[in-house]
Amino acid sequence: MIDFSFTKKQRALREAIDSMGRHVVRPQSLSWDQNKAVPEEFLRNFYQIAQGMGGAGHLGSGDEPAREPGRASETNRTVMAGAEALAWCDAALMLTLPGPGLGAPPVRGSGTEEQRRRFFSIFEDMSGGLRWGAYGLTEPGAGSDVAGIRTTCRKDGRDWVLNGRKCYITNGARASWVVVFATIDPALGRAGHRAFVVEKGTPGFSVGRIEDKMGLRASETAELVLEDCRVPEENLLGGEASYASKEGFMAAMKTFDNTRPLVAAMACGIGRAAYEVGRDFVRDNYVMTRPIPRYAAIAERLARVDRRLQAAWMLCWRAASLADHGEPNAKEASMCKAAAGEAAIAACVEAIEICGAAGTVSSEQRFVEKWFRDIKVYDIFEGTGQIQRVVISKRILPGLHGF
């Protein structure tokens, strides 16, 4: 049975983030959006505070804390609870936090013990400077269609030579290392895929343009270029032997099973923030006890938003819980990702319509305009809503023609 309640640790984590969000993050959020960056001094101070929050520090770490033998992990659920709360404060801040970020799951899940130690160790002490990791899958012609990646890799002596371009990579320009997916032969589809950790400063590895985005403007999104980039064979995740069968690729793809619930939780956080502003605006500006049909319609719209967000959150929790118990969760990860993106977009649309002009000019409600811009990408990255429905369909009806 899945317990949907928070542990004492998770509750304390969310309360700490909520307090910091209201009094520290939200007052600066709009200026970060306008300036397209979270100040590094703030990130340094926030990171130091997060280390004392117990669970919050783990949001940017790569290793899973030790647990009692026979007891299920709480890592995925704790990180997800913190991510939802941080996205409620400011989703761009959540994506900008120092640490391995979305690069952590593939290294943790597919890397050897030596690789995990080597690549995660740089995040253990950031007193000398902040560090980031990144995840490079998306290309100009392939993103949700993972089988379509065209970045190539070929073995040359003790190195792999990579050529191609990656786009829309969160923290790509500042990352100390990036997990890059490439193929030995595009004709092989998924069977030809390999995952590498490409370190900053590797010859042939460079940063292209920094994207000017509609939403999440304070989060860095970069293009990465690989031109005869020579990566040592020790940086092939899992080692060459692990790709002799489909297990190597499948292990790398399990990244999505961990990251999709995390991204879905962030969408829930943005949706909850928008819902709360819309709800409070109605409470402050409408006399809901009056029998006016329009008021009843507004109340029904808010109830529908709340219902959908609650359902999406429970799907997120189930997917994370299955992962913590070591059980397959691919279908559930896609379900929560599809549901959360749609529910949160609807929440932002309703909030901006309910608040009207106040949603774009008032200091209190102005946030809904930002969230309206931020939320769209949550139905796109880590696999579009359409792709999630394909994944779900394939698991409900394996072998279904056309999938």
Q: Is position 382 annotated as part of the catalytic site? A: yes
Strand partners, 165: 225
**DSSP character at residue 21:** I
Q: Looking at the DSSP assignment, which residues form a beta bridge with residue 139?
A: 142
- DSSP H or E segment with residue 195: strand 193-199
Q: Which uninterrupted H or E stretch holds 169?
A: strand 159-170
Q: Which residues pair with 142 in a beta bridge?
A: 139
Secondary structure (3-state) at 238: coil
Are the CB atoms for 393 and 403 separated by under 8 Å?
Answer: yes
What the block records as the tokens of 366 is 């102005």
DSSP character at residue 103: G
| Residue located via tokens 């649309």 | 349
Strands 133-136 and 177-183, how do they pair? parallel
Residue from 332, 350, 369, 382 carrying the catalytic annotation: 382
Query: How many whole angstroms separate alpha carbon 152 and alpha carbon 194?
Result: 9
Please give the C-alpha separations between residue 386 and each of 50, 197, 355, 381, in angstroms, as whole numbers. Answer: 36, 29, 30, 11
d(CA 225, CA 183): 15
Write the CA distances from 270 to 200, 202, 327, 341, 377, integer angstroms.
32, 37, 28, 10, 12
Neighbours of 331 (CB within 10 A): 18
Rounded to the nearest 5°, which phi and psi values hold at 19?
A: -65, -45
| Pair of tokens at residue 306 | 């709340």
Taking the C-alpha atoms of residue 116 and residue 132, their distance in angstroms, rounded to an integer, is 15
Nearest to 209 by CA among 169, 158, 154: 169
Question: H or E stretch including 385?
Answer: helix 385-396
Residue pair 399/295 in contact (Cβ under 8 Å)? The answer is: no
Q: Which residues is 170 bridged to in the sheet?
A: 221
Torsion, Cα 282 283 286 290, to 10 degrees, reads 120
Residues identified as active-site: 382
